[in-house]
Amino acid sequence: MSNEQFIAVQGGNLRVRVDGPHDAPALVFSNSLGTTLEMWDAQAAKFSRDFRVVRYDTRGHGGSVVSPGAYSFDLLGSDVVAILDALDIARAHFCGISMGGFTGLWLGLNAASRMHSIAVCNSAAKIGTAEGWNTRSAMVREKGVAAMKELADSSPSRWFTEAFIAAQPQVVARAQSWIAGVDPQGYAGCCDALAGADVRDRIAGMAVRTLIVAGSADPVTTVADGRFMQEHIPGATLAEVPASHLSNLEAPQAFDDALGRFLRA
C-alpha cells in the first residue's frame, strides 16, 4: 500500500509519502540538500516490508510548499516532529543523509523522546563552512533557476565516485534532475540552515541509539567526520560503505545491510 499526502508545518505543507504496514514500527527517511524523497525509492521498497516507512521532501525541496526565507535546523527538525504528530506516531526510527543526517542530530538532541534510533549518514556535526554555504545561498538567490542548472551540472563529482558516474549514468542523471528541479529559494533557505549548523560541542549529549554511516570516498562529509561523531556520541557505531556522498544510491546493498543490521539489533 502506498500513500502520498501533504502535512501542515510552520509556513506551509510538506509532501509526505508513507509505505508499509500501518501497525509496523515507523522508520522516517530524510533527504539530502538538492534531492527529494525519491532518493529513498530503493530503501522504501525494501524496508517497507517490516516498517511503516515515512519519507518527506525537506522544506524548500520537491513537492513541499513552504514560505521562503532563511531556514534553521530548529525548523527542519520541528518539521519531522510535526509529521510524527500528524501521523499519530509516538516514536520512530530515523535515517537521514547529509542535511537529513544533521536533522537526525537535531532530533537526538532536541526530541529524543520521539526517537527509537537515529542513523546519521554521510553527514557531520558541522558540514562545510558558514562562508561556503553563505556564498552558495547568495549565488542561488541571485541567479535563480540558472543556478540550479549549474549545481545540477557540478553535483555528480561531489555526490558520486568517477567509477560510479561512468557505470551508472542513469542513476546520476536522475539525481541531477532532482536538484535541477529544486526551488532556488528553498535550496538557498537550506544552505542558510547549514551555514548556522554546528553541534560538535553538543553531540556528547545525544541520548538515542545512533548509527553513523560514512562513505569511504565521500569528499563532502568524510570518514573523519563520521569517526568524530562516533567517538563523541555515547554508544554510537560506525559503518563505512564503499561510496561517495550519496551512499544509499551508490552502494545500496552495503547501505541497506548496515541500516538493516542496526535496526534489527
In the complex, which residues of this chain contact ligand L4CXMVQC (CB under 6 A)? Answer: 32-34, 98-99, 127, 155, 158, 220, 245
- What is the Cα–Cα distance from 58 to 169, expressed in whole angstroms? 25
Q: CB-wise, 48 or 148, nearer to ligand L4CXMVQC? A: 148
Minimum Å gap between C-beta 30 and ligand L4CXMVQC is 10
One-letter identity of residue 78: S
Spell 32-69 as b/e; 16+ CB within 10 A means b.
bbbbbbbbbbebbebbbeebbbbbbbbbbbbbbbbebe
Residue owning grid cell 534531492: 35
Minimum Å gap between C-beta 86 and ligand L4CXMVQC is 24
Q: CB-wise, 20 or 213, nearer to ligand L4CXMVQC? A: 213
- What is the Cα–Cα distance from 92 to 211, expressed in whole angstroms? 15
Can you state the angle between helices 99-110 and 73-86, rounded to 10 degrees? 70
Per-residue CA distances from 83 to 78, 92, 111, 129 (Å): 9, 11, 13, 29
Q: CB-wise, 93 or 245, nearer to ligand L4CXMVQC? A: 245
What cell does 165 get?
Answer: 558516474
What cell does 50 get?
Answer: 517490516
Minimum Å gap between C-beta 33 and ligand L4CXMVQC is 3
Q: Return the residue nearest ligand L4CXMVQC (CB atom).
A: 98
Q: CB-wise, 153 or 201, nearer to ligand L4CXMVQC? A: 153
Q: CB-wise, 48 or 248, nearer to ligand L4CXMVQC? A: 248
- What is the Cα–Cα distance from 155 to 150, expressed in whole angstroms? 9
Per-residue CA distances from 236 to 117, 163, 206, 230 (Å): 10, 31, 9, 5
Minimum Å gap between C-beta 23 and ligand L4CXMVQC is 32
Would you give the DSSP letter of residue 38?
A: G
Instruction: State the number of CA atoms in the 13 A half-sphere of 255 facing the CB.
Output: 26
Q: Which residues contact 257 (CB under 8 A, 6 or more apart)?
A: none
Q: CB-wise, 41 or 50, nearer to ligand L4CXMVQC? A: 41
Minimum Å gap between C-beta 211 and ligand L4CXMVQC is 18
Q: CB-wise, 66 or 121, nearer to ligand L4CXMVQC? A: 121
Minimum Å gap between C-beta 5 and ligand L4CXMVQC is 24
Minimum Å gap between C-beta 158 and ligand L4CXMVQC is 4
